[in-house]
Amino acid sequence: MPITPATAEHSSSNGTAETILLELVDEDGTTIGTAEKLAAHQPPGQLHRAFSVFLFDERGRLLLQQRALGKYHSPGVWSNTCCGHPYPGESPFAAAARRTFEELGVSPSLLAEAGTVRYNHPDPASGLVEQEFNHLFVGMVQSSPLPDPAEVEDTVFVTAAELAERHEKDPFSAWFMTVLDTARPAIRELTGPSADW
């Protein structure tokens, strides 16, 4: 399985590369340690902290992203606006805002907590496992995405009906429906009844 600098390392403030560590948690979401990112995703997977973001435009359409084809985990599939992992000690809210800007070149005009969900989703294509305690966020975006091509292959805004059609014919991330269904109450509160989420 290829490991690229983008998947295994990030640059520190002094310009040197360092290993990406994830925050390991117990079933209650309490931090219990750290693990290297790829190691945490090797079967059977280590439970770690993650986040998922759902951003909507003023018409109540959800911004989806298609993951870049070069990603080592779930390449080319469609998923929610942004998802990822906080660095150890970084708040999920700060990580969600940071990665949304890094991946899509947009900052949410509103971002609110939408609960947490714990899941175990193996990815048959890569053999990796998502054992995550996921913090969910919903919000608004008022500018057009400027995606980083190393992270994002494509983006699209969809209505609830368009998402249902797309989900039937296009590949989506293994975790997408789990995080979407858990976030739905907050999404409905944000977008209103006319958006039909």
Catalytic residue among 83, 103, 130, 151: 83
Cα separation, 150 vs 196, whole angstroms: 33
| Separation of alpha carbons 77 and 20, rounded Å | 23
Structure tokens at 184: 């739905």
Active-site annotation holder among 23, 103, 130, 132: 132
Judge whether 83 counts as a catalytic residue.
yes
Q: Say whether 82 is catalytic.
A: no
Quote the CA–CA distance of 155 and 94 in Å, as a whole number: 22
* DSSP E strands, the chain: 9-11, 17-19, 21-25, 31-36, 48-56, 62-67, 78-79, 82-84, 110-122, 129-140, 152-158
Q: How far apart are CA 97 and CA 82, in angstroms?
A: 9
Please give the positions annotated as active site. 83, 132
